[in-house]
Amino acid sequence: MFYNQSIKTRLFIYFTGFAVIIMLLLWILQIAILGPNYRNSKKASLISIAQNIESLINNEDYTVDSIKRTIDKLSFENKTEVLIYETKNERYLYSSVSFLTSIYINKVPLAIDETQLNQDDPKIYPIQFEDLDIEMYIYSDVLNDGKYVLLLFTSFDPIDSTTIILTRQLIFVTVIILVLATLLSFIFSRKLSKPIDNIASSAKNIAYGNYDFEKIETGGFSELNQLSQALSYANKEISQVQNLRRELIANTSHDLRTPLTMIKAYAEMVRDLSGDNPQKREEHLNVIINESDRLSLLVGDLLELSKLESGKHELNISNISIVDCIQETLSKLDLLCEKENYVFDFNYTDYYIVSADRFRIMQVLYNLISNAVAHIGEDKTVIVKLFDINNDSCRVEITDHGVGIPKDELPDIWERYYRTSESHKRSQIGTGLGLSIVKNILTAHNASFGVFSTLGKGTTFYFDLNIINIKEAEN
């Protein structure tokens, strides 16, 4: 049952229990231990005074007057009566001048047996004067080989009355502390539970799909601030994932529906219109084949991206020629050069041997060059550069002279299906997933990559690979 209690209940139990423990300790210390401690302190005081007086009497440098003044001072400061009894003459040689001494001096022989006074070891005796209703300790010791007997008297203050006063005060203090503990537990539990309730409510909203909530008030607790920040971060990430999911579904549906619509439309045209016209029929069938290829490419990219993002793919690292990879990729786009008069300008000075997965790097090159073609400028030129940036790394740059990308949109272009603010046109090649695939492959290679762009002048994508060897290129 205790584990299912609320914070308010637990704090109340903790505060109240703590207050009760403190009050019990006070009761024990003030009531139960007060009497014994008081008596022990009186005994310790008597022993200390006796030692001081003995040292004074045994010290030949002290005069009688100085000894009396010192004893008077000790008697006054410690509320102790001092008697020095001379055994030879059977008389009191010294008594501290006080009212108590004059009362008790004649009662001492009745209270202490003479045999006890003649013992060598110091003794402390509790004495009760019933007729005077006074209780005291009497200290006796023999000094100077029996020449003197030292007697010290100290009376007890009335402990019972002090105990009664303390008991009343403790009852009063106990009630106040319990009331304060209850109030503090209520205040602190409310202050602590409110931000936790806010966090719990926000978490429920996230679970229900509501990602829009105001900043969570945490009451200034650092731990709750961390929890709130973690929840806000999780909310932001989940919201982005949901938005990406919706965009992915919308974009994928659009990209799947468009070729399917065209395939169906041209298939119906072949059936109804161009069946007897070989030229028309061939044109229509070519459209169907192209759209089927596009559809197959889209599905392949979706599966490829899913595999890359799952982290289950393994890289087949080997030493490869990055120059050969670029040339092979460009050769796949020769058809665009023939039909669209595109120009692919590849500049390099050396053959760089790098450590990478050849198949994956070919994917990166194809996607980046295809992206440049999709946004090519009026000059219809794509520039590919390969050069070393230091002794350990080389860089590949792919540049187009298209419309460019706004600076504030550059960090988002690596997301799947991201569309820049420029008007979108359906490109001849590509599926909208290429840059996301590039990002995942280069991240798996621990390769640096990026993009810089100028509106109206074009865009350059780049990535770096570690150099294993360099061979000088022939002209």
**Does any domain span residue 205?**
no
**Does any domain span residue 128?**
yes
The residue among 133, 157, 181 that closes a domain is 157
Lowest-confidence range among 115-124, 212-221, 294-303? 115-124
The residue among 102, 136, 157 that closes a domain is 157
* Pairwise pLDDT comparison (23 vs 464), residue with the higher score: 464
**467 & 380 share domain:** yes
Kindly report each contact of residues 70-78 with a partner whose C-beta sits within 8 Å and lies 24 or more positions away, as own/partner: 71/96, 72/96, 72/97, 74/49, 78/45, 78/49, 78/154
pLDDT at 425 over 50: no
pLDDT at 424 over 50: no
* Pairwise pLDDT comparison (233 vs 370), residue with the higher score: 370
Q: List 211's β-bridge partners, or say none.
A: none
pLDDT at 427 over 50: no
pLDDT tens track for 106-148: 555 444 444 444 555 667 777 766 655 667 777 878 877 777 7
Residues with Cβ within 8 Å of 306's Cβ and at least 6 positions away in sequence, in order, are none
CA distances from 153 to 78, 94, 200 (A): 10, 13, 72
Structure tokens at 113: 């047996």
Q: What is the mean pLDDT of residues 390-398?
A: 90
Please report the sign of the dihedral spanned by the C-alpha atoms of residue 357, residue 360, residue 366, residue 367. negative
CA distances from 353 to 201, 362, 384 (A): 57, 14, 17
Structure tokens at 447: 């390769």
pLDDT given for residue 420 in this prediction: 56
**251 & 326 share domain:** no
**Does any domain span residue 298?**
yes
What CATH number does the domain containing 275 carry? 1.10.287.130
How many structural domains compose the chain?
Answer: 3
**340 & 374 share domain:** yes
pLDDT at 45 over 80: yes
Cα separation, 455 vs 464, in Å, equals 24
Cα separation, 170 vs 173, in Å, equals 5
Q: What is the mean pLDDT of residues 325-347?
A: 84
Mean pLDDT of the chain: 76
Cβ-based burial of 457 (10 A; exposed 0-12, middle 13-18, buried ≥19): middle
The residue among 278, 308, 338 that closes a domain is 308
